[in-house]
Amino acid sequence: MAVQLRLIRHGRTVAPDGVFVGSRDVALEPGARDRLQRLRPLLEPHCGPVYVSPMRRTRETLEAVDPGWAPQQIRMDPRIREIDFGRWEMSSFAEISRRDPDLLDGWAEYGDFVFPEGEAVADFTARVGGFLAAVQQGPEREVVAITHGGVIRTMICLALGLPVRHYLLFDVQPGTMTELKLYSRGGILTGLNL
């Protein structure tokens, strides 16, 4: 049987546009909660688990989209937190290319890359893949996860059997929902930026 996985990317944050925000614990911007409430009807009824990244922006997103889930449905899960960009946190691509031009080729290869003073892409992929496998093999048929853009892009690649380096092919907007149908041997992308 298939598992329906609904992935909600947190709303827009107070971080400046165009900077990389991974492990930095930023809040939602004013007005983001109101915009997120449009997702509520898409999440009703839902009686399965709701996994939430422990970051502030995802917890605030949970508060905005919660249609009245029971407390026992809510499960904080560190496997679905965003990648740690290390010293590149809160930097734009232009700033990174000026500061660390020698590292950009390695980043383009992605799979073996380690963000300076941050997380290895392989470790990030393994923890996100571990969460996805647990959902795929678990008893629940309907799961919601409130998480981050990099996590959602990575899950799409893993579910569809695509190399993870293709994660940027999927433009996952803040405050939207992505839907995957997961089967024992892969998945189908059934909705993006809903």
Per residue in 38-72, pLDDT tens? 999 999 888 899 999 999 999 999 999 998 999 99
Residue 14's closest CA among 2, 24, 1?
24
Q: How far apart are CA 76 and CA 59, in angstroms?
A: 9
Q: How far apart are CA 97 and CA 33, in angstroms?
A: 34
Strand spans (E) along 111-161: 142-147
Other Cβ atoms less than 10 A from the Cβ of 146: the count is 29
Residue 57 structure tokens = 């922006």
Question: What integer pLDDT is reported at residue 184 of this predicted model?
Answer: 87
What tens digit of pLDDT does each residue of 103-128 get? 887 787 777 899 999 999 999 999 99
Residue 98 structure tokens = 């000026």
Question: What integer pLDDT is reported at residue 46 of this predicted model?
Answer: 80
pLDDT band at 82; cut points 50, 70, 90: very high
Question: What integer pLDDT is reported at residue 110 of this predicted model?
Answer: 77
* Helix boundaries (H) for 66-120: 93-99, 104-109
Residue 89's closest CA among 17, 24, 14?
24
Residue 175's closest CA among 48, 22, 38, 54?
38
pTM here is 0.95
Q: Please, what's the largest Cα pairwise distance for the chain?
A: 50
Query: Which one has a higher pLDDT value, 101 or 52?
Result: 52
Residue 128's closest CA among 147, 104, 155, 105?
155
Q: What is the mean pLDDT of the chain?
A: 95
Residue 74 structure tokens = 């809510």
Q: How far apart are CA 184 and CA 136, in angstroms?
A: 7
124, 58 in Cβ contact below 8 A?
Answer: no
In which domain, by residue range, is 27 found? 3-191
The domain total for the chain is 1
The domain that contains 119 carries what CATH number? 3.40.50.1240
pLDDT band at 91; cut points 50, 70, 90: very high
